[in-house]
Structure 1
């Protein structure tokens, strides 16, 4: 069982344009699609489509359109009732796959609601293999919410605590490393931009995407700060995985991208599906890349099924640390 927590879920409305987006113009849509989403929900969706067990945890009123959509999808979930409506995010996709995203901030969660959401995670996590905390934090949540929940899970469940993965950005990501080692998850999944921000160096997103060995050495620095593993997605350049066993770089043969929405979430789902089946780290990376590439080749926020994967188009190579790194 893989538990996911989405603190700030959203209805994702994706609009595919016939022509490139033009500021101030009136344009026609080729297609549009609305789906219950949020990073954790997307991860759960990918896991469920593959036939594995998952439970999505999130806030939301019983009559909220997002909750109704989840119910219609048949995805297993538990929702903490709140009074405010959940947000809607809009993604505009150009014919060449370029995406423009407009994200609402989401409802404010009170301290009481956040405490109840944490309690829901703690009571649901017993017996799970992984707990995934994914996405932005809603207004009202402290920046170290994920860090504190990670520590609370370990304190509560001890040796029976599931492995913990966190996929977030900005200050919530930095706060994972601002406390003791008990607050650092077993897996983080930054993209190149987030990786550069996290290490606080002069490295740029473009440098990390173009140089897998540089990205790997940056990931190794996070292992030294307590992370169990770092899965860094590098856009069209694939992804890098660093663990205590080594580091690997993998990539997919070129694809025609239709939408990158949900590609990172699909990568995480692919990694977890492989990890829970006992796969080796390089195989987990290959699964992550296959899922991410499949998602990018599908329209809107579509989460891929195993039949959408092109595993044979993925290459994974071990990386050797550079001298002095």
Structure 2
């Protein structure tokens, strides 16, 4: 079982344009859709669609309209009651796949609600293989919120605690990495460079990612899955690294592609696949998500059938 925490969920509204976005003008939309979003929820949707049990933990008021959309996703959830409502994020995509995002702030959680959310995660982790802490923190939350969750889970379950993956950015990621040693992180190249405080040489980006990520793994993290968009992804572990190319696809929306890549990795790892195959599966799921409109969870039928070239990286 895989447990996810989405501390700052969002109602993802996606508007598809028939022409490139023209700022300051009136345009007609070709289509629109709404999805229950937030990085942890996205991961749980992909995992559930693959037939693997998942539980999504999130804060949600009983009267929040977000709950109606979430119910249609068919997810097993653990909802912690709060007073505020989930935010809404607006994504605008054009025919070339260019994505413009407007992310609103979420509900502020008071100390009682925050404590209840941590407790809900701890209890949901009974028997879980992975816990995924994903997405931005709600307004007002301390930068070390994920550190608090990790320590609570490991303190409660000890040697039976799940492996922990973290997918966030900025100070929340820095605190989790340097204070709690997660088993996996999933930054993109910019987030990795910011975290390590080191520049990435774009002339050979996969090799640069390996060099920078090895300053973190295994001393501070077990492994790093670094997504590079159209260039594919890099997996860095204590033993070395791999790079996998992305297949050619028609990009419909990049929202949730990184979440799907993380879900693909976790699915492969849970099936005891070797490291190179975990990376290939991550690339397949991330590419599939980018080929779908909105924030949809790719299914097996959506995965690209192309061969995914993968190669070992060495310092």
Aligned length: 315
- Separation in 2, partners of 1:237, 1:294: 15
For residues 178 and 74 of structure 1, the distance between their equivalents in structure 2, rounded to whole angstroms, comes to 36
Matched residue SS, 2:121: helix
Match for residue 174 of structure 1? 174
Partner residue, 1:124: 124
String of CA shifts for 1:257-287, please: whole Å, max 9, x gaps: 1110100000001000001011111111000
CA–CA distance in 1 between the matches of 2:311 and 2:111?
A: 46
Residues 58-114 of structure 1, C-alpha deviation per residue, up to 9 Å, x if partnerless?
A: 000123111121112221101101111111000000110010000011010111111
In the alignment, structure 1 residue 316 sits paired with structure 2 residue 313: no
Structure 1, 249-258 or 132-141: larger mean CA deviation: 249-258
Name the structure 1 match of 2:192. Answer: 195
2:252–2:292: 8 Å Cα contact kept in structure 1? yes
* 8 Å CA contact 1:4, 1:41 repeated in 2: yes
Q: Is the 8 A contact 1:111 1:140 kept in 2?
A: no
- SS of the equivalent of 1:63 reads coil
SS at match of 1:313: coil
Match of 2:182 among 180, 185, 206: 185
Instruction: Find out whether 1:108 has 2:94 as its counterpart.
Output: no
**Residue 67 of structure 1 aligns with which residue?**
67
Which residue number in structure 2 is paired with residue 139 of structure 1?
Answer: 139
Q: Matches of 1:227 and 1:312 in 2, distance apart?
A: 31
Deviation at 1:246, TM superposition (A): 2.3
1:42 and 2:12 correspond: no
3-state SS in 2 of match to 1:318: strand
**Aligned counterparts, 1:261-276, within 5 A:** 261-276=255-270
Q: Which residue of 1 aligns with 2:57?
A: 57
The alpha-carbon deviation at position 224 of structure 1 amounts to: 4.1
1:37 Cα offset (Å)? 0.7
Residue 215 of structure 2 aligns to a residue in which SS?
helix
List, as ranges, runs of 4+ consecutive aligned residues in structure 1 with deviation greater than 4 Å.
Answer: none
TM-score by length of 2: 0.97
Work out which of the residue numbers 287, 293, 299 in structure 2 matches 1:293. 287
Match of 1:236 in 2: 230
The answer (yes or no) to whether the contact 2:15–2:92 under 8 Å persists in 1 is: yes
Aligned pairs (5 A) from 1:195-214: 195-203=192-200, 207=202, 210-214=204-208
Counterparts of 2:218 and 2:295, CA distance in 1: 35
Query: For 1:217 and 1:253, how far apart are their aligned partners in 2?
Result: 25
On the 8 A contact 2:200/2:212 being kept in 1, the answer is no
Equivalent-residue separation in structure 1 for 2:297 and 2:212 (angstroms): 29
| Alpha-carbon distance in structure 2 between the residues aligned to 1:320 and 1:312 | 26
1:99 paired residue number: 99
In 1, the alpha carbon distance for the partners of 2:171 and 2:189 equals 16
Does the Cα contact within 8 Å between 1:62 and 1:68 map onto a contact in 2? Answer: no
CA RMSD of aligned residues (A): 1.3
User: Secondary structure at the residue paired with 1:106?
Assistant: coil
The SS at the match of 1:85 is coil
SS in structure 1 opposite 2:245?
Answer: strand
2:306 aligned counterpart, secondary structure: helix
**3-state SS of paired residue (1:176):** helix
Any unmatched runs of 5+ in structure 1? Answer: none
Question: Distance in 2 between the 1:73 and 1:173 partners?
Answer: 28
Given that 2:218 and 2:237 are in contact with CA atoms closer than 8 Å, whether structure 1 keeps it comes out as: no
Indicate the residue corresponding to 1:303 in structure 2: 297
